[in-house]
Structure 1
Amino acid sequence: MLGLMQDRPLTLPHVFHRAEQFFGHKEIVTAGAGGEATSTTVAEWAARVRRLATVLDTLGVSADGRVATFCWNTGRHLELYLAAPCTGRVLHTLNIRLFPEQLVYIANHAEDEVVFVDRSLIPLLAPLADKLTTVRTYVVVDDGADAPIPDGWLDYEELLAAASPHEGRFVVEDENTAAAMCYTSGTTGNPKGVVYSHRSAVLHSLITLTADAFGLSERDVVLPVVPMFHANAWGLPYGCLLAGATMVFPGPNMTPQAIVDMLERHRVTITGGVPTIWMGMLPLAEGRDLSALRQILCGGSAVPRSLSEAYREKVGIPITQAWGMTETSPIATMATPRSHHDALTEDERADIRARQGQPAPFVDIRLVDPDSGEVQPWDDVATGEIQAAGPWIASEYYRGEGGGAQFTDDGWLRTGDVGTGDRYGFVRLVDRTKDLIKSGGEWIGSVELENEIMAHPKVAEAAVIAIPSEKWVERPLACVVVAPGESVTAEEIIEFLTPRVAKWWLPDAVEFIDEVPKTSVGKFSKKTLREKFGGYQVAGPTSHDPA
């Protein structure tokens, strides 16, 4: 017996038409390079999306052609977010922070036909144009910068002014049609393409509206600090349009000072970004009126407990962790507090907030021992690689790149993260599989060790990597960034850690560095540190052997 419900495809045109019809009065604010902000309404934005849809036809972009963007977080970038998929094309957000050779590889691999580029970013893209073999057209979105425009590159506003608007409703008949593409940051080998369908984008957007996820509503004012080129800004653009929330975009000025100014000026209620953003903003939050904030979302890497607690003390709310990756669209787990946490002490709740949280509805998570392949229990003791499955989880990479190494025979995504989980499903990351330190046959979690080091009041950042040991195979090396105006010795770091971790977890050495290198999406680049300290050798037994 079949159900008697209408069979309507889950596609992004619904998100557009809902916003156009019901939320035309809401604001979309974009900050300029100098701090000034321009504001438009959703109704005005929707009219421009309709013109942009016609522009894509005029430019000769094929029916399912890849429409690349090389842009900051702006309202005009949001126009492309809908115009491309609503006309059946595929939005491809290029990461502006990648190395040139990676950008060339990605644009050619995706077969981008047109690139929309913010004028301030022309100096990064123009030198590569001759190498982008499939790109026929470049369109400049003038963000007020004075970068010279190459001959033959078109002007965004002129194209829109000359275009007639798309009439009627946008239609995408098959919900499994590709809507967007985003490439992994490619820390090993070439970056790999993740292709989001209309169905996955819509379902993921719905989850952002749920109370135990982002809880987006029409009353919210949302500032996505996470780049729109990184996993679709965690789904915030589509989620905000679906909910009718006001959107505030930071534009090209991504400094901590600019972010805190916007949070205060626009009475932002929800914001999200990687830990390095919130580390940089924390000293500037003192004395600012951020009372409108109800949620500070953080993902990309584990949030140090000390950072979350510092926000609770200074701003009045702790950081809320989310966990996921490009391949998970990216929401996989959320650490919003649950009723069974109410009876805990504040210190115990801080420990819970240091976790990555419970799987979102429709996301299945399992912990698998990397050696035996056995699924581990949710007892908060056993650890394993986190594997994920669900309607917005990738099933393979574009063009089958990478083979099946990251996908199991039964269809689960191997995330490469190692963690444990309690009986309520609250996940706690221990490490990346490639970053685990195996000392004397026992595992040391570098993430946990980093969080303990960063709890030291004189430490700004810390990254832990494995270095070779004659006796124990590997031992931890702590790479520490001292907080501005402070001084601390290696002995003080070890002394601080001694009561906090097992004796055999204590680093064999502490190296002080100016900054922890970052990847293109703001994560700690341990690959860079391993290359820098690759010749580091710990000889013989140490005073804190695992034995």
Structure 2
Amino acid sequence: MPSTMQDEPLSLATLLRYATTVHADATVRTWTGSGSRVLTYRELGDRAAQLAHALTALGIGRGDRVGTFMWNNNEHLLAYCAVPAMGAVLHTLNIRLFPEQIAFVANHAGDKAVIVDGSLMPAFEQVLPQLRTVRHVIVANGDAAALRAPEGVAVHELDTLLAGHSSTFDFPLLDERSAAAMCYTSGTTGDPKGVVYSHRSNWLHSMHACTTDGMGIRTGDRVLAIVPLFHANAWGLPYAALMVGASLVMPDRFLQPSPLLELMAAERPSFAAAVPTVWNGVLAAVDAAPQDLGHLRAVVVGGSAVPPQLMRAFEDRHGVRIIQAWGMTETSPLGCVAWPPPGIEGEDAYAYRVTQGRFPAPVQARLVGDDGTELPRDGKAVGELEVRGPWITASYYSPDAGTVGSDAFRDGWLRTGDVGTITADGYLTLVDRAKDIIKSGGEWISSVALENAIMAHPDVVEAAVFGVPDERWDERPVVAAALRAGAEADAGVLRAFLAGRTAKWQLPERWTFLPEVPKTSVGKFDKKALRARYSSGELDIVVIDSTSTQTNSDSRAG
């Protein structure tokens, strides 16, 4: 029996029309280092129409990929709006990938045009000669004439390109299952893999982001989007803000703690989102030079596990509530958010807040053991997390319709590579990444649990734990730590600090100290790089004998 409901496609063009009329006075504000460049949503709608006309005049049509190589700013949001609404496909290029990786993903996606921020032209120039399908480069906030382009590539200046075009555009009625945007994984275990989001998946994801069990974004919010627009849909913040008329605050290139705090003092956002490493830096800066952060009603943190002590420090010292979330490029990316159940407050709430969160109704989840059997949701059984749902990818993009990364899928489920537990009431706790968990003497050691325990020491800013081969135990953990300026802690002190916080057999013997733990292009600890540096002997390793507190220099031998 068919329903009587109208079949209106969930199109991002509909979302754009709604946001720029009903919420026309909401704003997107880009920080310049001393103030903000402001664009109302009404003006955003006008410019989106002009950009759609301009791209059409350049020969960009339905399904054509338009890349962006940009910071979080007004112009990047403009591309988020215009490109999908006109029927083309937005492809956000990760500016922090290596040049050969950027070239790979642009060629793999078949980008026909790329919008580039003027400040990033030198980096983009290194890649441009390798781009086989790009025919147009559009420069925003810079001198287009200064960009050296190979023959056959036309270079345009954004404002000049928009001038003369109408501020109205007849955005097409699109199939909601058609492609709206592309994002590639960060390529930590091989070539980056492409995920293609649909209009429908973006719409449904945005609706969830605005619910109280999602990120709770609401009308009147000022959303500080530190998480980059060039990766994983900026956690869905742009479209969620448009959906409810929340204003957006963009940091542009000013991503260090001091300028972020200056931005917050001036713009007073009510909501913010970024990875833990960003908030570690902000905490150190605001502890050293206190300022009011009471305007932040919530901060969502994800990308990697949030150290519990980071949550407590922000709440106890600055009145800021950090909410942990979990997701992946492949999940659009919001999978679950760690809001405690109703009525649970104070210390009791932390048992829920330190989890990765509770799955919403659209995201189905299960744990699978090594033998492929499904494990119970009892908060105890540990297995690989698999998920499926309307904003979870079912495959990776292949330009020739071939198969890419088939081992990441099983019977219609996405194999996340994360290992953890799920409770009966749907809360996920991750133990580790499958590739990072350490098997020592037949028992598992969670690198995440060790990292959190080490970072609880007041002298430690960052700590990454990775496994290395060991002749006796198969694998043993190595700690790479970055200490606060003037800190006196050493390997012996930190190992003693861990005693009583973790099982004795898990205590690391090998330690190295770095000015900063290396990061991936999306701000996670780069354990692949640490393993490589360890194997090549680049790291200065200190060994703590398990039977004494003496330290000595060590080679790679176990």
Question: Normalised by the shorter chain, which TM-score bucket?
Answer: over 0.9
Paired with 2:423 and 2:486, the residues of 1 have a C-alpha distance of 40
Question: What is the Cα deviation at residue 38 of structure 1?
Answer: 1.1
Counterparts of 1:368-517 in structure 2, within 5 Å, are: 368-369=368-369, 371-399=370-398, 400-408=402-410, 410-517=411-518
Paired with 1:190 and 1:497, the residues of 2 have a C-alpha distance of 37
The answer on whether the counterparts of 2:481 and 2:514 sit within 8 Å (CA) in structure 1 is: yes
Paired with 1:91 and 1:146, the residues of 2 have a C-alpha distance of 21
Report the CA distance shift for 1:10/1:295 in structure 2 as closer, same or farther (over 3 A): same
What one-letter code is carried by the residue in structure 2 that aligns with 1:172? L
Paired with 1:147 and 1:277, the residues of 2 have a C-alpha distance of 35
Paired with 1:325 and 1:186, the residues of 2 have a C-alpha distance of 13
Question: What is the Cα deviation at residue 336 of structure 1?
Answer: 1.4
- CA deviations on 1:28-69 (whole Å, 9 max, x unpaired) are 21112x332111211111100010010111111132100000
Question: What is the Cα deviation at residue 542 of structure 1?
Answer: 5.1
- CA deviations on 1:48-106 (whole Å, 9 max, x unpaired) are 00100101111111321000000110111111101111111000000000000000101
Paired with 2:125 and 2:105, the residues of 1 have a C-alpha distance of 16
Question: What is the Cα deviation at residue 467 of structure 1?
Answer: 1.6
RMSD: 2.0
Paired with 1:171 and 1:209, the residues of 2 have a C-alpha distance of 26
Counterparts of 1:138-537 in structure 2, within 5 Å, are: 138-142=137-141, 148-150=146-148, 152-168=154-170, 170-286=171-287, 287-339=290-342, 341-342=344-345, 346=347, 348-369=348-369, 371-399=370-398, 400-408=402-410, 410-534=411-535
- Matched residue of 2:409: which SS? coil
The answer on whether the counterparts of 1:122 and 1:147 sit within 8 Å (CA) in structure 2 is: no
What one-letter code is carried by the residue in structure 2 that aligns with 1:148? A
How high is the sequence identity, in percent, across the aligned residues?
46
Question: What is the Cα deviation at residue 257 of structure 1?
Answer: 1.2
Report the CA distance shift for 1:543/1:427 in structure 2 as closer, same or farther (over 3 A): farther
- Matched residue of 1:265: which SS? helix
Counterparts of 1:30-45 in structure 2, within 5 Å, are: 30-32=30-32, 34-45=33-44
Paired with 1:129 and 1:393, the residues of 2 have a C-alpha distance of 32
Question: What is the Cα deviation at residue 354 of structure 1?
Answer: 1.6
- Matched residue of 1:530: which SS? helix
User: After the TM superposition, which of the residue ranges 418-427 and 148-157 deviates more from structure 2?
Assistant: 148-157
Paired with 2:145 and 2:136, the residues of 1 have a C-alpha distance of 18
Report the CA distance shift for 1:100/1:167 in structure 2 as closer, same or farther (over 3 A): closer
What one-letter code is carried by the residue in structure 2 that aligns with 1:318? R
Is 1:92 matched with 2:91? yes
Paired with 1:147 and 1:243, the residues of 2 have a C-alpha distance of 39
Question: What is the Cα deviation at residue 367 of structure 1?
Answer: 1.2
Paired with 1:440 and 1:91, the residues of 2 have a C-alpha distance of 48
Question: What is the Cα deviation at residue 538 of structure 1?
Answer: 12
Paired with 1:284 and 1:87, the residues of 2 have a C-alpha distance of 43
The answer on whether the counterparts of 1:393 and 1:413 sit within 8 Å (CA) in structure 2 is: yes
The answer on whether the counterparts of 1:123 and 1:147 sit within 8 Å (CA) in structure 2 is: no
* TM-score normalised by structure 1 residue count: 0.95
Question: What is the Cα deviation at residue 401 of structure 1?
Answer: 4.9
Aligned length: 536
User: After the TM superposition, which of the residue ranges 397-406 and 188-197 deviates more from structure 2?
Assistant: 397-406
What one-letter code is carried by the residue in structure 1 that aligns with 2:25? H
The answer on whether the counterparts of 1:35 and 1:253 sit within 8 Å (CA) in structure 2 is: no
Paired with 1:403 and 1:434, the residues of 2 have a C-alpha distance of 16
Paired with 1:357 and 1:323, the residues of 2 have a C-alpha distance of 7
Paired with 1:538 and 1:82, the residues of 2 have a C-alpha distance of 52
- Matched residue of 1:499: which SS? coil
Paired with 1:292 and 1:359, the residues of 2 have a C-alpha distance of 28
What one-letter code is carried by the residue in structure 2 that aligns with 1:30? T
Corresponding residue of 2:79: 80
Question: What is the Cα deviation at residue 2 of structure 1?
Answer: 2.1
Corresponding residue of 1:131: 130
What one-letter code is carried by the residue in structure 2 that aligns with 1:493? L
The answer on whether the counterparts of 2:52 and 2:169 sit within 8 Å (CA) in structure 1 is: no
The answer on whether the counterparts of 1:114 and 1:137 sit within 8 Å (CA) in structure 2 is: yes
Paired with 1:397 and 1:418, the residues of 2 have a C-alpha distance of 21
Question: What is the Cα deviation at residue 421 of structure 1?
Answer: 2.2
- Matched residue of 1:377: which SS? coil
Question: What is the Cα deviation at residue 10 of structure 1?
Answer: 1.0
Report the CA distance shift for 1:255/1:305 in structure 2 as closer, same or farther (over 3 A): same
What one-letter code is carried by the residue in structure 2 that aligns with 1:53? A
* TM-score normalised by structure 2 residue count: 0.93
- CA deviations on 1:371-412 (whole Å, 9 max, x unpaired) are 22222222222111111100000000001453411001x110
The answer on whether the counterparts of 1:468 and 1:538 sit within 8 Å (CA) in structure 2 is: no
Q: Gapped runs of 5+ residues in structure 2?
A: 549-558
The answer on whether the counterparts of 2:512 and 2:542 sit within 8 Å (CA) in structure 1 is: no
Paired with 1:72 and 1:282, the residues of 2 have a C-alpha distance of 23
The answer on whether the counterparts of 1:470 and 1:538 sit within 8 Å (CA) in structure 2 is: no
- Matched residue of 1:481: which SS? strand
Question: What is the Cα deviation at residue 543 of structure 1?
Answer: 4.4
The answer on whether the counterparts of 1:378 and 1:420 sit within 8 Å (CA) in structure 2 is: yes
Corresponding residue of 2:23: 23
Report the CA distance shift for 1:147/1:521 in structure 2 as closer, same or farther (over 3 A): farther
Corresponding residue of 2:47: 48
What one-letter code is carried by the residue in structure 1 that aligns with 2:84? P
The answer on whether the counterparts of 1:331 and 1:360 sit within 8 Å (CA) in structure 2 is: no
- Matched residue of 2:294: which SS? coil
The answer on whether the counterparts of 1:294 and 1:317 sit within 8 Å (CA) in structure 2 is: yes
Paired with 2:126 and 2:479, the residues of 1 have a C-alpha distance of 39
The answer on whether the counterparts of 2:367 and 2:374 sit within 8 Å (CA) in structure 1 is: yes
Paired with 2:269 and 2:243, the residues of 1 have a C-alpha distance of 18
Paired with 2:235 and 2:169, the residues of 1 have a C-alpha distance of 30
What one-letter code is carried by the residue in structure 2 that aligns with 1:365? A
- CA deviations on 1:184-238 (whole Å, 9 max, x unpaired) are 0001111000000000000000001101111111121101000001111000000
What one-letter code is carried by the residue in structure 1 that aligns with 2:307? P
What one-letter code is carried by the residue in structure 2 that aligns with 1:27? T
User: After the TM superposition, which of the residue ranges 308-317 and 201-210 deviates more from structure 2?
Assistant: 308-317
Question: What is the Cα deviation at residue 340 of structure 1?
Answer: 5.5
What one-letter code is carried by the residue in structure 1 that aligns with 2:300? L
Report the CA distance shift for 1:535/1:377 in structure 2 as closer, same or farther (over 3 A): farther
- CA deviations on 1:288-336 (whole Å, 9 max, x unpaired) are 1211111101110000011111111122123111100000000001001
